[in-house]
Each structure stands twice: as structure tokens, then as C-alpha cells.
Structure 1
Amino acid sequence: MPTWIYLVILVGCAALGYCVFQIANAMLDREKEALRARLDSFNAAAMPAGSENFLKSDQVKHSWWVKLLLFREGWAESLWKMIRKAKVGMSLGSFIMLSVTLGLFGGLLAKLLGWSFLAQVGVALAFLLAPGWWVHRKAAQRAAKFEEQFPEALDLIGRSLKAGHTFTSGMTMVAQEFDDPMREEFKLTIEEINFGGHLHDALDNLADRLDTPDLLFFVASVKIQSETGGKLTEIMDSISYLIRERAKLKGKVAALSAEGRYSGYVMFLLPPLMLGVLMFLNPRYMSVLFDSELGHYLLYASGGLLLAGMAVIKRMVDIRV
């Protein structure tokens, strides 16, 4: 049979297995879903339309099979926090199942292509970790956009304080005037305060949802000012000025370290490109690397050294400001 038929069968089996697993998991969690629906109906009746349910805890009780796959509760909580920060509409169980399915698919695909065992393991690990890398990148992009909007939000809060408004009124203006993610996060914080939450707890939850250094500094400053006193308008102006200066310094550091970063990219891509060119020009000359066991070991060692070198260069040019 042709190889593409095996690939189609493999994809169909993987999709069927994923659907069966989701159905079985839904049946096991039927009682929990019923209880959650009752709580949601109660909160919908007790709260205005469109508001968030702040009675729920962020400490999600994960399914038994999630804990079994992750071996430790701390890993489950870390993954769940990363998914929440990225605002991915996916449960932890679905995320883990997607990762495992992709890992199995990658390993079987490499096996059907006739690759060696180490190559199969490498492809399976790459497919397994791909969803986590995507979620981490999405969370980082969201946090970066928030940091870009944050100085202007602080300026707006400071101007509202100078005009005689309260601190929460200034945060409400930010939630009304800015785009996501600033609007979404400040809206959740204001609604948490309006529904009876303490200001300190609401700010702590805001910092926990994003986990950016600038936001942590802002939360700490507001909490200290509420306990010791002082002019909050000056604090807002100082934090805004500090964040802008940090952004300028980060831009200068990125410009100075650009040569090192792109040198790392060139050094990482040059050996595979040269290998492809030599294989195109003289296939018999490079066939020893693919037809012999020693050649396979050389390829694995070269790939490992390339990855290690790229990691070292990335660490050298990653200057924290």
C-alpha cells in the first residue's frame, strides 16, 4: 500500500481515539458538570448579565487521569496557569490530550517514513511539546501587549486622581477606554471589587493573571500607599516614567544584541543548508551519513551540538532589564 494511505489511516485513528477519550471523560465528569451548571445558574441569577463569576477559585480540581499523566499536582497547576494567561479556550485535560495525541502522531509518522528509533523519539517529543510552546508564546505576546499599554493606562489613572476621582474610578476609565488585554483585565479587577472583593486581593489576582514585572511593581506600590499614605498621583507618574525608561533601555539592549542573535541564527541554519546543498549536488557523497549507523550517530551528535550552541547564544544575548 502507498505511504499516504497509512498516513490517512493514522490520522483517522488518532482523531477517533481523541473523540472517544473526550466522550469517556465527559461521562466520568457528568456529576461535576451538573453541579457546575447549578452554580452557574445561581450566579447568573445573583449577578448582572455579562459579569464574571468571582466566587469561583482559580485552584481547579483536575481529573484523576490528569494528575496521573503529570505525576505531580504542581505541574498541573503550572500548566493551568499558563493556559489561563494565554486566554486559550481549552481545558487542561483537552490540552494534555492534544499534546499526547500529537506526540503519538509524530512518532508513528517518523516510523512510517522509516526513520531510526532516535529520530522517532525526537519527532515525538517535538510534536508533544509543540502545543506547550504555542501557549507559552501566546501568553508572552499577551503580556507584552499589556506592558505596551500600561504606561498610558497609568497616565489616565493619574489624571483622573488629579481631577478628584477615586482610584477605582480611574481603573474603570481604563477598562472603558483601552483595548484588550488591558480592558479585559481591568474590567475583571473592577468587577471583583464591586462584588465585594478587597482592593488588595483584586490587585493580587490581576498580577497573578499576567505576571509582568511592571504590573507587580504597580500592585506593590498601591498596596504600600494604601497602608502608609502618600500622594497616589505622584506614584502613578513615577511608575509611568519608570516603565517608559525601562522600555527605552530594553530597546537599546535589543538593538545592541541583535548582531549576536542573528549570528546565532546563521550558525544554526548554515550546517543544515550546506547539508541540503551537498545532497542536491552529490547525493552519493553524503549518503554515508544516512546509510550507515556511524553516520546516524554523527547526525544526532551534530544536531545536539547545534541545539546546545543555539541555547548558549540565546542565553548570552538575553539581557534582562
Structure 2
Amino acid sequence: MPVWLYLVILGACTILGFSVFQIVSALQDSEREALRNRLAALGRSSTTDGPESYLRGGRPSHAPWLKLILFRKSWNDTLWWMLRQANLDISLGSFVLVSVLLALLGGGAARLLGWGIILQVVLFIAFLLVPIGWVRIKIRKRLTLFEEQLPEALDLIGRSLKAGHTFTSGMTLVSQEFADPIREEFRLTIEEINFGGHINDALDSLAERVPSPDVVFFVAAVKIQSETGGKLTEIMDSISYLIRERAKLKGKVAALSAEGRYSGLVMFLLPPVMMGVIKFLNPKYMAVLFDTTAGNYILYASGTMLAIGILVIQRMVNIRV
């Protein structure tokens, strides 16, 4: 049987397995169970720490098979918070299942292609981490958009304060006038306050959901002002100015470090691309690397040094502002 047919069958089995899991999960999720979970979440104390509070997002209870796979409760919480920060409407169990199926697909493809055990393990781990990398990209994009919206939102809160409105009214205006993601996050903060939560706890939840230094500045300034007093309008204007200046500095740093970042990208892509081109043009010339044990070790060592080099370059050009 051809190799491509094995790959097609493996991919079809992966899709079929995920579909069966989704159907079984939907059948088990009855309305009575959903209502019971809802009432249990509403009955929790508003002072519950961590993501277990309903007002902070309501961490779902995990299936026993998921706990057996992840082994540690902290991993469950970390993955769930990543999905929450990326604003993805997917259950934690489905996310883990997709990751495992992709890992099996990558490892099975390497096995069918006759690659060594080391490459099989590398592909298994790489495909296992692909969904996590995608979620991190979503979090980074959402966080960047939030930071771009925050100065304008603070200006709106400052103008509402000057017009005689309260601080919470200004946040309500932001949740009504702005687009996502800042609208969603401010809406959750206002809902937590309306449910009876303290404003400081609601702001702490906002800083927990949006891991940005700008949000930390905003939350800390409002909490300090509520304890010591002062003009909140001037504080909003100062924070807005600070965030804009910080964004300008980040842009300058990104422009100055662009050469290093793109040099690292070229250095990372050039060896495998050239190896693929040479193997396509003259397969016998590269056969010694793939068909001999010493050649395989050379490939493993080269790949390891290449990965270490790109990590070092990334650390050098990743300047935090």
C-alpha cells in the first residue's frame, strides 16, 4: 500500500475520533446537568480565590480521563486560563484531544515514512505543541489589540468623570462604545461589580484576565486613589499618556531590533530549505545523511544546534519595555 494512502487513512481516523468524541460529549451534557452546574457556580462565595469564582469566569470541572492525562491539577488551570485569555469557545477536553490526535498524526506519519525513532519523537512533540502555539499567538494578538484600545478607553473614562459621572459609569460606557476585546473585559468587570463584588476585586480580576503591564498600572492607580484620594481624572490622563509613550518606545525598540529578528529567521530557515532543494535536485548527494547512521547523528546534532541558536537570538532581540 502506498505511503500517501496510509497518511490519508490516518488523517481520516483522526477526524473520525474527534467527531465521535464531540458527539458523545454533547449527548452527556444534559440540560439538568447544565442547570446544576449553573446553580452551583452562583452559590459560590464571591471571595473564592483563583479561577473558581463564577464572576471570574467559572473554571469548569474536568473529566476524570483528562486528569489522568494531565496528572497535575495546575496544568489543568494553566491550559484553561490560556483558552480563556485567547477567548476561544472550546472545552478543555476537546483542546487536549485535538493536541493528542495531532501528535499521533505527526508521529504516525514519521513512522510510515520510515524515519528514525528520534525524528518520530520530535514530530510527536512538535505536533502536540502546535495547538498551544496557536493559542499563544491568539493571546498575543488579543493582548496587543487590547493595549491599543486602552488609552482611548481611559480618555473616555476621564471625560465621563469630568462630566460628573462615576468611575463605574465610565467603564460601562467603554463596554458599550468600544469593540472587542476591551468591551468584553470591561463588561465582565462591570458585571462582577453589579453582582455585589468589590470594585478592587473586580479590577484584580481584570488584571488577572489580561496579563498586561498597562492594565496593572491602571488597576494599581485606581486602587491607590480609592484609598488615598486624589483627582481620578488627572490619574486617567496620566496613565493614558504613559501608555502612549510606552507604545512609542516599544515601536522604536521593535524597529531597531528588526534586523536581528529577521537575521535569526533567515538563519533558521536557510539550512533546511537548502537541504530540501539539494535533495530534490540531487538525491544521491544527500543520501549519505539519511541512509547512514553517522549521517543521522549529524542531522540530529545540526538540528539541536540550530534550535539552540534560534533561542539565543530570540532572547537577545526580545527586549522588554
Query: TM-score, structure 2 length as denominator?
Result: 0.90
Structure 1 residue 110, shift from structure 2 partner: 1.2
> For each residue in 1:203-256, what CA deviation from the matched residue of structure 2 results, as whole angstroms up to 9, or x when unmatched?
111111111110011111111111111110111011111111111111111111
* Map of 2:100 onto structure 1: 100
Counterpart-to-counterpart distance in 2, 1:3 and 1:34:
48
Counterpart-to-counterpart distance in 1, 2:116 and 2:24:
35
Change (3 A) 1:102 1:266: same
How many matched pairs?
Answer: 311
* Map of 1:220 onto structure 2: 220
Change (3 A) 1:8 1:61: same
Structure 1 residue 209 and structure 2 residue 200: aligned? no
Matched-pair contact (CA < 8 Å) for 1:145–1:181: yes
* Map of 1:3 onto structure 2: 3
Counterpart-to-counterpart distance in 2, 1:10 and 1:280:
26
> For each residue in 1:75-103, what CA deviation from the matched residue of structure 2 results, as whole angstroms up to 9, or x when unmatched?
11011000000011111111111100110
Counting only pairs closer than 5 Å after superposition, residues 165-176 of structure 1 correspond to structure 2 as: 165-176=165-176
* Map of 1:34 onto structure 2: 32
Matched-pair contact (CA < 8 Å) for 2:175–2:184: yes
* Map of 1:48 onto structure 2: none
* Map of 1:317 onto structure 2: 317
Counterpart-to-counterpart distance in 1, 2:309 and 2:113:
29
Matched-pair contact (CA < 8 Å) for 2:41–2:58: no
Counterpart-to-counterpart distance in 2, 1:315 and 1:307:
12
Counterpart-to-counterpart distance in 1, 2:54 and 2:40:
13
Counterpart-to-counterpart distance in 2, 1:260 and 1:57:
40
Equivalent residue letter for 1:213? P
Structure 1 residue 3, shift from structure 2 partner: 2.3
Counterpart-to-counterpart distance in 1, 2:235 and 2:127:
47
Counting only pairs closer than 5 Å after superposition, residues 63-74 of structure 1 correspond to structure 2 as: 63-74=63-74
Change (3 A) 1:256 1:217: same
* Map of 1:160 onto structure 2: 160
Structure 1 residue 19, shift from structure 2 partner: 3.7
Equivalent residue letter for 1:110? A
Counterpart-to-counterpart distance in 1, 2:281 and 2:106:
30
Counterpart-to-counterpart distance in 2, 1:302 and 1:39:
52
Change (3 A) 1:178 1:25: closer
* Map of 1:271 onto structure 2: 271
* Map of 1:62 onto structure 2: 62
Range with greater deviation from structure 2 (75-84 or 35-44): 35-44
Change (3 A) 1:280 1:112: closer
Structure 1 residue 279, shift from structure 2 partner: 2.5
* Map of 1:235 onto structure 2: 235
Counting only pairs closer than 5 Å after superposition, residues 246-261 of structure 1 correspond to structure 2 as: 246-261=246-261
Structure 1 residue 12, shift from structure 2 partner: 2.6
Counterpart-to-counterpart distance in 2, 1:154 and 1:223:
15
Matched-pair contact (CA < 8 Å) for 2:158–2:233: yes
Range with greater deviation from structure 2 (88-97 or 54-63): 54-63
**% identity of equivalent residues:** 64
* Map of 2:140 onto structure 1: 140
* Map of 1:15 onto structure 2: 15
* Map of 2:45 onto structure 1: none
* Map of 1:183 onto structure 2: 183
* Matched position secondary structure for 2:150: helix
Structure 1 residue 173, shift from structure 2 partner: 1.2
Matched-pair contact (CA < 8 Å) for 1:54–1:192: no
Range with greater deviation from structure 2 (267-276 or 139-148): 267-276
Equivalent residue letter for 1:135? V
Counterpart-to-counterpart distance in 1, 2:298 and 2:58:
48
> For each residue in 1:46-97, what CA deviation from the matched residue of structure 2 results, as whole angstroms up to 9, or x when unmatched?
xxxxxxx955763432222222111111111011000000011111111111
